[in-house]
């Protein structure tokens, strides 16, 4: 099948590679424009653009170019922008969405599923419509969330989504027989920096989910600290306190505690929490906060 592909991040790459490896003709790849990924660095191509160029595919950042590509259908995976109605009217498109629709329509379905404590999530293949993630369903598959972090879960869903999409394209009945979405719709808006801030007034279970999102942070003794990995702890530590308990660095929360395993102090690389604690050169417990009154 002659296709165009719309995608941007690493999570879209398995589907692009799968389409090429399955023998589909990817006539055009549309991705978001190059951007700076480090402060002061040069503009860099998206992961999708890198792979497309390696495979000798035509790449553009102009959605209007789809209209002249002569394709039968489009495939969209985490493109990062809305597709204009004029393009949708001219080229039917399938969308690989990382949730079990209609739950978690929108930009951050994986993060919202983790933060909400969902036991299961998955991938849904829909026909793309002008309205946000409302299209009929061609196929879906579920996975267990367990204790996976957002990066791990996204990678799993990306591989599953590629396999599911290829199955739909290979099955005329699945391609033609989409069913309407059924159930209550929820919306996965992008997370704010404040939602990634750890708060001593919350419980340990929710705080652990925030850490699994990536970028969880707090302020300890006036210094910003990124918390990268934690474990449940039975230690008794007052909420808003960080202490060394039997050789383990423990974070006190409203209903319990978490052991800090890996952290990243401001301006430094990732390190074991025990090394960070020793570097503080202060054996006494310290106070911590969400950062509302400290540096972010």
Say if residue 201 is in the same domain as residue 265.
yes
Model confidence, pTM: 0.93
CATH classification of the domain holding 33: 3.40.50.170
Kindly state whether residue 182 falls inside one of the protein's structural domains.
Answer: no
Say if residue 53 is in the same domain as residue 146.
yes
| Residue 17, phi then psi, degrees to nearest 5 | -65, -40
Which residues have CB under 8 Å from 249's CB, separation 6+?
A: 242, 243, 259, 260, 273, 274, 276, 277
Note the Cα 115 to chain centre separation in Å: 12
Say if residue 25 is in the same domain as residue 139.
yes
Q: How far apart are the first and last CA of the chain?
A: 49
Say if residue 132 is in the same domain as residue 274.
no
Kindly state whether residue 295 falls inside one of the protein's structural domains.
Answer: no
| pLDDT by position in tens, the chain (length 296) | 999 999 999 999 999 999 999 999 999 999 999 888 777 778 899 999 999 999 999 999 999 999 999 999 999 999 999 999 999 999 999 999 999 999 999 999 999 999 999 999 999 999 999 999 999 999 999 999 999 999 999 999 999 999 999 999 999 999 999 999 999 999 999 999 999 999 999 999 999 999 999 999 999 988 999 999 999 999 999 999 999 999 999 999 999 999 999 999 988 999 999 999 999 877 789 999 997 544 43
| Residue 27, phi then psi, degrees to nearest 5 | -75, -25
Q: Can you list the alpha helix ranges (DSSP code H) found in 171-244?
A: 172-176, 204-213
The range of the structural domain enclosing residue 50 comes to 2-176
CATH classification of the domain holding 224: 3.10.25.10
Pair of tokens at residue 61: 């950042």
Kindly state whether residue 280 falls inside one of the protein's structural domains.
Answer: yes
Kindly state whether residue 9 falls inside one of the protein's structural domains.
Answer: yes
User: 176, 203, 221: which is the final residue of a domain?
Assistant: 176
Say if residue 48 is in the same domain as residue 139.
yes
Tally the domains of the chain.
Answer: 2
Gap between the Cα atoms of 85 and 276, Å rounded: 52
């Amino acid at each position: 099948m002659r296709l165009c592909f719309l995608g941007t991040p690493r999570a879209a790459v398995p589907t692009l590679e799968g389409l090429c490896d399955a023998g589909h003709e990817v006539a055009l790849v549309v991705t978001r424009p190059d951007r700076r990924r480090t402060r002061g660095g040069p503009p860099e191509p998206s992961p999708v653009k890198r792979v497309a160029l390696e495979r000798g595919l035509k790449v553009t950042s102009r959605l209007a170019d789809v209209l002249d590509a002569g394709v039968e259908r489009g495939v969209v995976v985490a493109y990062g922008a809305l597709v204009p109605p004029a393009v949708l009217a001219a080229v039917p498109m399938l969308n690989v969405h990382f949730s079990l629709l209609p739950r978690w329509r929108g930009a951050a379905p994986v993060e919202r599923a983790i933060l909400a404590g969902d036991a299961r999530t998955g991938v849904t293949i829909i026909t793309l419509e002008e309205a946000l993630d409302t299209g009929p369903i061609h196929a879906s598959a579920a996975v267990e969330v367990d204790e996976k972090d957002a990066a791990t879960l996204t990678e799993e869903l990306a591989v599953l989504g590629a396999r599911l999409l290829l199955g739909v394209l290979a099955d005329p009945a699945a391609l033609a027989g989409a069913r309407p979405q059924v159930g209550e719709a929820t919306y996965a808006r992008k997370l704010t920096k404040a939602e990634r801030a750890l708060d001593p007034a919350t419980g340990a279970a929710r705080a652990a989910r925030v850490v699994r999102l990536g970028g969880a942070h707090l302020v300890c003794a006036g210094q910003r600290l990124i918390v990268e990995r934690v474990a449940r702890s039975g230690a008794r530590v007052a909420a808003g306190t960080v202490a060394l308990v039997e050789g383990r660095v423990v974070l006190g929360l409203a209903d319990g505690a978490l052991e800090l395993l890996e952290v990243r102090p401001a301006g430094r690389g990732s390190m074991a929490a025990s090394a960070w604690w020793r570097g503080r050169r202060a054996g006494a417990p310290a106070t911590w906060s969400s950062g509302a009154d400290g540096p972010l």
